[in-house]
Structure 1
């Protein structure tokens, strides 16, 4: 006889399924639409982080998914709560990050009347997610939650939205848990690997580019060993720099924003480009200029876990439908004869990377953000996690900070503003023993700066660095290029960010000269409190290799 199943609410069944799927962290802004879930979470071994804005909660969940490869989970309330959270959903989509957002919904009896805060979630989120669903039948809650985990992690990972009608959650059910999900890996075939070996053997100027998601530490180690053995040069895609130790002698640099021109030239001159895991989107392809579309002149081998991405933009010479983990494991077993010309090219590329990133470029003003990044790379532990959002300030991170360990850079490839503070909170929750930095621009920070209150609430000793130049710098740069001298809507009036930190109960310091940064950082660490270091940046210091005034002058000269 079958054992009698215990009766429980649908909300309890949902939370039990989360536990069964290995969820350790949940981020939320509470809402009355899912109170039964909050009640069920109270008694489970899941760390719950209460946020100040749904966008922050969604970005925290996305950061967990990015760092671990397991779906990050957040709960938000219906209507305005869900739309607030959409920024995090978009990050997860463009960054190929597994994430599940549960959102409250009106009772089933009043649907289709535009009831209070009602939304059609399939219509609202359908273009941003891998799957959006609504649980109408409480008896199917464990089935559909299990499916959400498989969908979020399979192929090209991404976000899933699950709507929860308020009346469903309180109903009692007698259903079993679904088995815990397992990531479905796809492996390359022997024929494809042999064809790749032949392509490599005949290549004189090959370049391997690592990107995308679905990596792990073992795959990172295996690709490093393969590069060491064969001499093949390795580049990384935009904000995927932690897939390879930047100080490895085969590292050629990153194809992101403001990349080393010598690396871009190498990529364009390659006779074989092997793209592992990534999509070679707009930024890493330098505006789709590295390869012709749809038929590249360069031989392209594209390895991706999502079959729909193969041939989507570029028609590869060889397409391999495989996850990076399985592909790199197979690659490491290939008998590829090392070639001196590959090693020499990699040595030259690595020397170019070191020269490009070694010394901060001179800057207008008394605070040089490049010198700050160089100081950080030389003085913080190698396992420090640096989180940032979007803005020109990030150019100095990419240029001068060197990431040595796996998943020590958590940043959006979608270049979404306001990401750095929520991501840092998620990472400090995930790794309470490690140093976590949140690096932000002034406009960037205040899109989610209220989440600093959460760092104080949970006593998370994050060190937040704010580069304040009093404007939306990236937009001003483009504005001066296109409409020189006609400033509109890009100026900002900022608070005293150090005082802002103290008002929340954290530590604050202001840095007006580069030489003051080391002491401010030491004081922030010794305080043991969430901290903000407010850097006063000259507005003219717009990029590591350009000033705003010169960009304006060049634009005026063209008129």
Structure 2
């Protein structure tokens, strides 16, 4: 299918446009159904019906006059319209939705500035391989290429950072373009898709017959794949599985965990995707990525067979394309991306399959458990347990600490608790101590995007209103999208928001000290009282400066969430230069 941004040949001019057709509409003839079963709707309303048919439960919106007809279609729809305070927040929420569910998250923004603000969420979805569809309202068709108000070239802006960029230039294809966009976002390596919606085209009355959902191929192991993997594992003494990506199901994660435990095999997880293998599984040996503990880095060089499932050994996993580059090593890469984009190091075999299908085939492989596997797994598991055991519950003298906060937080968390966060050194405490159990219990931005914490927590809380959702933000990150607490209050989201406030952009300060020691520049911050901000937005807020006050402050915040059904924020004022590891 070819969708073009070029205008079709213009129709002959008329003095007066028919009353039913705006003078600015493109020169196309809308398809109108006829006969006793005919049903027509505007293209904007058809888009809403198509999204509902694809299982979309909510869309994250910053409104604009460019897509009023879609907003009108959402009125009374079963799709919840979540009105956000910034396009970046809306895009982050949709991206988080795409991580949690087996369908794309959906955001809607307006042209020009709105599209520019949403771009950060697209980059997150691109690098994190998250299925997402961004609908962007555009100028009227007839105004194109005339420097109209907020005009921009949607293809030129987004073509290098999205799987597809499509424009609805023909109203009758409204349902089709939704089906194509959803398919493109989910097929192969998942990612973001952008759909441009010219303002006037949305108002055309068209045949409302829905376009069928386009099935997505899931791949699978061939007989040769199965034999090669089984032989490599049987011959190994130190095998290691590494899970990652966002293309999992909870059932597949559980089945893989059971198979690994049965065979006494170890599994690490990609940076910021913890939970696919549960925190307390005897097979779980820790995260691999930036800021990881050294033992898991050493695993890459020590293991004799690596099986990557749902991800590839990119620069984060290989410490900048350094680790695991010897082509004599055995690496099995399980991914639906035939191009292996982002891969480095050896490829012994590529298995083109989504994780759930690979696991379905894997569990049919029966292997004799080797004593070397048991010893290898137990050794790494012991290191992970020692590393992830929370510090003492006893508060320390002086300034509040993240260690004390995490010790009290994790001790009573329900098993289905979720954690979200964006980027910064504050995230290391979540990596190390937060107990994740099951796929999508950790939602984060692996592209290092700041400002992700609060929007992702709002999306998670709306998606799972019965679960404990915790987001951990740094002081620098929080103010990038902290205003989405207003969205939380408006729609009844109840996350626990924790702000670790060390009055600096800590990650950049760390890099700065390594390269330019004793020359701190451009990283220091002076912050407001975040607890008062939370209260102003309609939630619970408490500021904590002394470590001795941490337990009571956390208890009060959780009590407010449970009894008042509101969000709660704990503002933890910490010392600079304190690290999780």
Task: Please tell me the TM-score bracket, short chain as reference.
Answer: over 0.9
2 CA distance for matches of 1:481 and 1:360?
A: 28
Partner of 1:423: 456
What does 1:7-86 correspond to in 2, within 5 Å? 7-86=40-119
Q: Are 1:321 and 2:352 counterparts?
A: yes
Partner of 2:224: 191
Task: Using the TM superposition, give the Cα deviation of residue 6 of structure 1 relative to its aligned residue in structure 2, in angstroms.
Answer: 0.7
Q: 1:128 aligns with which of 147, 161, 170?
A: 161
Instruction: Count how many residue pairs are aligned between Structure 1 and Structure 2.
Output: 542
Q: In angstroms, what is the RMSD of aligned CA positions? A: 1.7
Q: Are 1:533 and 2:570 counterparts?
A: yes
Q: For residues 416 and 364 of structure 1, do their structure 2 counterparts lie closer, same or farther at Cα, with a shift above 3 Å needed?
A: farther
Partner of 2:12: none
What does 1:108-123 correspond to in 2, within 5 Å? 108-123=141-156
Q: Deviations over 1:138-186 (max 9, x none)?
A: 0111111100011000111000000000010111111420123444211
2 CA distance for matches of 1:430 and 1:384?
A: 13
Task: Using the TM superposition, give the Cα deviation of residue 518 of structure 1 relative to its aligned residue in structure 2, in angstroms.
Answer: 2.3
Where do 4+ consecutive residues of structure 1 move more than 4 Å? 361-365
> For 1:474, what is the secondary structure of its paired residue?
helix
> For 1:489, what is the secondary structure of its paired residue?
coil
Q: Are 1:240 and 2:285 counterparts?
A: no
Q: Is the 8 A contact 1:236 1:254 kept in 2?
A: yes
Partner of 2:284: 251
Partner of 2:9: none
Task: Using the TM superposition, give the Cα deviation of residue 363 of structure 1 relative to its aligned residue in structure 2, in angstroms.
Answer: 9.3
> For 2:275, what is the secondary structure of its paired residue?
helix
Task: Using the TM superposition, give the Cα deviation of residue 365 of structure 1 relative to its aligned residue in structure 2, in angstroms.
Answer: 5.5
Q: Deviations over 1:5-47 (max 9, x none)?
A: 3111000111110111111111000101011111110121011
Partner of 1:385: 418
Q: Is the 8 A contact 1:302 1:320 kept in 2?
A: yes
1 CA distance for matches of 2:58 and 2:356?
A: 25
> For 2:391, what is the secondary structure of its paired residue?
coil
1 CA distance for matches of 2:154 and 2:485?
A: 30
> For 1:160, what is the secondary structure of its paired residue?
strand
> For 1:444, what is the secondary structure of its paired residue?
helix
2 CA distance for matches of 1:365 and 1:307?
A: 55
1 CA distance for matches of 2:207 and 2:389?
A: 63
Partner of 2:309: 276
1 CA distance for matches of 2:468 and 2:305?
A: 39
Partner of 2:193: 160
1 CA distance for matches of 2:151 and 2:435?
A: 47
Q: For residues 182 and 429 of structure 1, do their structure 2 counterparts lie closer, same or farther at Cα, with a shift above 3 Å needed?
A: farther
Q: Is the 8 A contact 1:391 1:473 kept in 2?
A: yes
Q: For residues 363 and 134 of structure 1, do their structure 2 counterparts lie closer, same or farther at Cα, with a shift above 3 Å needed?
A: farther
2 CA distance for matches of 1:232 and 1:118?
A: 56
Q: 1:498 aligns with which of 528, 531, 544?
A: 531
Q: For residues 412 and 103 of structure 1, do their structure 2 counterparts lie closer, same or farther at Cα, with a shift above 3 Å needed?
A: same
1 CA distance for matches of 2:240 and 2:154?
A: 43
Q: For residues 8 and 298 of structure 1, do their structure 2 counterparts lie closer, same or farther at Cα, with a shift above 3 Å needed?
A: same
Q: Deviations over 1:226-261 (max 9, x none)?
A: 112211111111111111012111111110222221
Gaps of 5+ in 1: 546-559
Q: 2:441 aligns with which of 381, 405, 408?
A: 408
Q: Normalising to structure 2: TM-score of the pair?
A: 0.90
Q: Is the 8 A contact 2:314 2:342 kept in 1?
A: no
Q: For residues 116 and 27 of structure 1, do their structure 2 counterparts lie closer, same or farther at Cα, with a shift above 3 Å needed?
A: same
Q: Is the 8 A contact 1:236 1:253 kept in 2?
A: yes
Partner of 1:337: 368
> For 1:439, what is the secondary structure of its paired residue?
strand
Q: Is the 8 A contact 1:233 1:250 kept in 2?
A: yes
Q: Is the 8 A contact 2:265 2:377 kept in 1?
A: yes
Q: Is the 8 A contact 1:231 1:343 kept in 2?
A: yes
Task: Using the TM superposition, give the Cα deviation of residue 461 of structure 1 relative to its aligned residue in structure 2, in angstroms.
Answer: 2.0
Per mean C-alpha deviation after superposition, the further-off stretch among 308-317 and 506-515 is: 308-317
Q: Deviations over 1:87-141 (max 9, x none)?
A: 1111111111100000010111111122111111111011111001111000111
1 CA distance for matches of 2:136 and 2:528?
A: 34
Per mean C-alpha deviation after superposition, the further-off stretch among 309-318 and 297-306 is: 309-318
Task: Using the TM superposition, give the Cα deviation of residue 310 of structure 1 relative to its aligned residue in structure 2, in angstroms.
Answer: 6.9
Task: Using the TM superposition, give the Cα deviation of residue 360 of structure 1 relative to its aligned residue in structure 2, in angstroms.
Answer: 3.4
Task: Using the TM superposition, give the Cα deviation of residue 444 of structure 1 relative to its aligned residue in structure 2, in angstroms.
Answer: 0.4
Q: Normalising to structure 1: TM-score of the pair?
A: 0.94
1 CA distance for matches of 2:282 and 2:149?
A: 60
Gaps of 5+ in 2: 1-33
Q: Is the 8 A contact 1:382 1:405 kept in 2?
A: no
Per mean C-alpha deviation after superposition, the further-off stretch among 513-522 and 51-60 is: 513-522
Q: Deviations over 1:449-482 (max 9, x none)?
A: 1111111122322211100011111111111111
Partner of 1:228: 261
> For 2:461, what is the secondary structure of its paired residue?
helix
Q: Deviations over 1:335-369 (max 9, x none)?
A: 21111110111011100100111143999962221
Task: Using the TM superposition, give the Cα deviation of residue 204 of structure 1 relative to its aligned residue in structure 2, in angstroms.
Answer: 1.4
Partner of 1:299: 330
Q: Is the 8 A contact 2:237 2:304 kept in 1?
A: yes
